[in-house]
Structure 1
Amino acid sequence: MIGAAYDYMKGSSISSTKHGRLGGATYHQVSLGVDYSLSKRTDVYVMGMYQHASGTDSTGGEAHAAIYTITPSDSNHQGVVRIGMRHRF
């Protein structure tokens, strides 16, 4: 099984709107995953995600990439790869 996803998020920046400017952070995230069954109850999988952030976050600072469950990046981009094996009892 193969799956792919693209997520786009645009947020407003509170500090930018106070000064009468439109602002906010924009996040683009791409994900790809592959799952292969070894038997009825066992499979292996590989999943990768990449996120790119731009603009100003809600604190007025530069937006940083932050993929869910992973420590936020110090920069505007972040990638993660997950490899695993699952066995259902």
Structure 2
Amino acid sequence: MLDDDLLERLSHPPRKSVNLMVKVDPSKLNFISMVVDGHGRIALPRTRSGKQGILDFLTSPDFVDDLYLILDDIKKNYDPTLEIVKDLGDNWLEAVT
């Protein structure tokens, strides 16, 4: 699910946060957001585009592995279209537009 370049960039802490942009089936967007949010606040979901199925997940570097486990499970069992589009990192200008 994750390409080698993204894994390499995410393996160099410290970072203030990890902000992943994820594309999902728009009809499953709310479900996926609630599943991630319901796992003890591992990540903070934010809908970027409901029509396109684009979500952001903001998490701390300590919880990235847990977030990947959740996203992998969702991809295998609920939404095979789920893909991580990019890591926005600490670039808040890009993250909020």
Superposed pair shares fold, TM > 0.5: no
TM-score, normalized by length of structure 2?
Answer: 0.29
- Bigger-Rg structure (1/2): 1
TM-score, normalized by length of structure 1?
Answer: 0.30
Judging by fraction of residues, say which structure has more strand: 1
The higher-RCO structure (CA 8 Å, 6+ apart) is 2
